[in-house]
Amino acid sequence: MPAAPASVPKIIADERERSGIIGELKSLGADVEVKTLPIGDFITSERTVIERKTRNDFESSILDGRLFNQCRAMAENFGRAIMVIEGGQEYETRISRAALLGAYSSLVTDFGISLFFTRSLSATAELVFAIAKHEQIARKPPASVYAKRKALTLASQQRAIIESLPNVGPTLARKLLDYFYTVENVITAPESELLEVDKMGGKKAKELRRVITQRYKKEDDA
């Protein structure tokens, strides 16, 4: 890929980001590269990672325990970690105001996460673009946006590989590795053994085995 012009910020976006924001970022003029990211939804410089959550997903991540694991990984691997919570108050909240305020407080004080609230997808895109532009053009950091503050631990790398499998989040990835010990054992495990892992379920096990065992077809790799 040719290098982006000096006035064009480059943003690396997680391929699982299906909201339409990638198109919004491109329309703003960003050079967007899409790939699987083990941490965050967007990398905007060597030190900056951004996680985008709708208000509904933010609450879900509190309830299922994902939120603080994600924040810990962001804070451990990047110098600047940002959480963007997107959307208005058009739906009925599932947790108390006190619990929400407690989560916000923890993100800021325990993990050093910068917290932003936006009302729409386009507003989030504008914020991500502005951060990328500041980091890469106004601040003029080192060129690479791939570098991290420090390397992932081996365990984090192993979990990131398992998390890239379909329907596998941080909690299930940990359960799989704890049960099978190695990435190789997870990949080669038959469906019957996958079902022994708590929270796996038949549908997830079938899809995981399908992705692992089906032949790659380059013509389908758009």
The predicted-structure confidence for 30-57, as pLDDT tens digits, reads as follows: 999 999 898 999 999 988 999 999 998 9
Domain ranges of the chain: 10-138, 154-214
The predicted-structure confidence for 144-200, as pLDDT tens digits, reads as follows: 444 444 556 788 888 888 888 887 877 888 899 999 999 999 999 999 999 999 888
Q: Which fold has domain 154-214?
A: DNA polymerase; domain 1 (1.10.150)
One DSSP character per residue, 153-205 reads: PHHHHHHHHHHTSTT--HHHHHHHHHHHSSHHHHHH--HHHHTTSTT--HHHH
Domain with residues 10-138, CATH architecture: 3-Layer(aba) Sandwich (3.40)
